[in-house]
A and B are shown apart, each in its own frame.
With several copies, the nearest count.
Chain A
């Protein structure tokens, strides 16, 4: 049975300094509220894993939470670059950032292997590219039947995976729909998992396209309304495309970014504490 907890407690108990942490959500249902909570709790030395480290990881990287990033595409979708990510890679600011770089197909299969309890996955990938030269977690394997050589990538098994979903019931069964990305795999691959949801309800009405994670496959659930903003939660709110553009102006400059952390992330935490809001987010 998954515990129903506050976002503060969920992150506090499940995310530890030095952990390998995956926040997943492919454009849709990105766990932004949880990302800000990690910044507020001052986590350090995280190895962050994510196929598309968009602005949620730009924020964590800029705030100095990460020592390493495992990823396949790091940009601000539809806008341009991730300036905090670039600054960390190019100038080690605020701390050096080691990177481990894959393709989407490789990352997706690494999660699949992790969710499947296998040590590695096989794919037709990377052949002829410069990625294997720089990424030690790409090797080659020979088919025992045909002799063909294929790429192999090791399983991803994060210490903790965090995703956002539309709903959970009071037992902690989680329901999401729309684009579901690699969230199921990320949760099943992880040692612990935290699912933030738009709302906890008495009963999960079936929805076309739903993916349901049973309560016994999830460690904790925290209510976090609008917890995917500025990304979106299908059936709840739309993607805030303006915020992605706005982020470009915040992330571009170190001081502006620091101001954002102070004024929007830390202040969000104080506001929450002051009002005793158990969800921990607006």
Chain B
């Protein structure tokens, strides 16, 4: 394995952005112009709105609260902010969002967060602990995620990386990633490609085309492979073609920060 980039931190200089900012901007960059994106609140919404203001003005934002083509001028603080309805091409009821727009596979990218994520991109947002009836931590639950993960053409996951959240096997499969490996989605009859991209505060992971195991393919500036290994609860594989994320541009940072300030 010959990583294409240096696998240690590039420089000791303090960057002028946070790792969360790098994550949001990396996630924004992954969204191609013109795509239809089903947006969860929090990190996904931030990234999608940065993308719309930078390289992807034609990005179509779909929120499960019932808006198609929202163009918010501030970052919504919930998935149901008034600004999402006021700026949408169409406002629809919640059953219609799921039945007419998500379920038939009309959405290109489902943008999800996760409390726990495992080696095959399966997502847990339900309970931490082995006993569902007596959980260590009760999480919010499924929301729209199981069907977003099933039906979108592909899924991007944005999540802060730690050995606690990146586990060998999730305690509860709320939303299916690649199941127990390549071929599982097809066997289950899940139409979308599943998680094709996991963007964290340390780098980017992609499923191995042969096994569907998540593999580190990209490091954010200043991050070493060992940093990512330390923040991963399974024996992390690193791609032969590991690349280095370009640092946020001044324009990207300013867009992100303006959005965030406006939403305070």
**Does chain A touch chain B in the assembled complex, meaning CB atoms less than 8 Å apart?**
yes
Which residues on A are within 8 Å of B, measured CB to CB?
1, 26-28, 51-52, 71-75, 77-78, 81-82, 85-86, 89-90, 101-105, 108-109, 111-112, 115-118, 123-131, 134, 148-149, 173, 178-182, 184-185, 188, 209, 211-214, 216-217, 232, 234, 238-239, 241, 244
Q: How far is the CA of A28 from the CA of B191 in the complex (A)?
A: 32
Q: How far is the CA of A134 from the CA of B172 in the complex (A)?
A: 11
Q: How far is the CA of A217 from the CA of B97 in the complex (A)?
A: 13
A51 close to B179 (CB less than 8 A)? no
A27 close to B189 (CB less than 8 A)? no
Residues in B13-70 with C-beta less than 8 Å from chain A: 34, 36, 41-42, 60, 64-69
A85 partner, pick from B86, B93, B94, B138, beta carbons under 8 A? B138
Closest A-chain residue to B90, C-beta based?
Answer: A212
A212 close to B89 (CB less than 8 A)? yes
Q: How far is the CA of A86 from the CA of B127 in the complex (A)?
A: 11
A72 close to B141 (CB less than 8 A)? yes
A104 close to B68 (CB less than 8 A)? no
Instruction: Collect the chain B residues with CB atoms within 8 Å of residue A188's CB.
Output: 100, 104, 106
Judged by a CB distance under 8 angstroms, whether B3 is at the interface is no
Judged by a CB distance under 8 angstroms, whether B105 is at the interface is yes
Q: List 28 A-B contacts (CB under 8 A).
A: A27-B78, A52-B143, A77-B77, A86-B138, A105-B98, A105-B144, A111-B95, A125-B150, A128-B173, A128-B184, A128-B185, A128-B190, A129-B146, A129-B174, A129-B175, A130-B173, A134-B132, A149-B189, A178-B82, A179-B80, A179-B82, A180-B66, A182-B93, A185-B95, A212-B90, A214-B68, A214-B90, A239-B78
Q: How far is the CA of A25 from the CA of B191 in the complex (A)?
A: 30
7 smallest CB-CB distances across A and B, nearest first, come from: A27-B80, A117-B104, A75-B140, A73-B143, A128-B176, A212-B90, A105-B98
B70 vs chain A, min Cβ distance (A): 11
Judged by a CB distance under 8 angstroms, whether B145 is at the interface is yes
Q: What is the 8 Å Cβ interface bit string for chain B, positions 66-87, against chain A (1 contact, 0 not)?
A: 1111000000011111101110
Q: How far is the CA of A185 from the CA of B98 in the complex (A)?
A: 14
Instruction: Tell whether A214 pairs with B95 under 8 Å between CB atoms, given A73-B143, A128-B179, A180-B66.
Output: no
B93 close to A238 (CB less than 8 A)? no
A26 close to B184 (CB less than 8 A)? no
Residues in B122-173 with C-beta less than 8 Å from chain A: 126, 132, 134-135, 137-147, 150-151, 172-173
A19 vs chain B, min Cβ distance (A): 20
Q: How far is the CA of A85 from the CA of B66 in the complex (A)?
A: 26
Instruction: Collect the chain A residues with CB atoms within 8 Å of residue B97's CB.
Output: 108
B41 close to A90 (CB less than 8 A)? no
Q: How far is the CA of A127 from the CA of B122 in the complex (A)?
A: 13
Contacts beyond the supplied A77-B41, A118-B103, A214-B89: 7 A-B pairs with Cβ under 8 Å:
A78-B42, A103-B142, A115-B100, A117-B105, A129-B146, A131-B174, A241-B78
A105 close to B79 (CB less than 8 A)? no
Judged by a CB distance under 8 angstroms, whether B91 is at the interface is yes
Instruction: Collect the chain B residues with CB atoms within 8 Å of residue A111's CB.
Output: 95
Q: How far is the CA of A103 from the CA of B138 in the complex (A)?
A: 16
Instruction: Collect the chain A residues with CB atoms within 8 Å of residue B185's CB.
Output: 128
Judged by a CB distance under 8 angstroms, whether B102 is at the interface is yes
A126 close to B100 (CB less than 8 A)? no
Instruction: Collect the chain B residues with CB atoms within 8 Å of residue A77's CB.
Output: 41, 77-80
Interface centre among A78, A86, A185, A234 (most CB of B within 10 A): A78
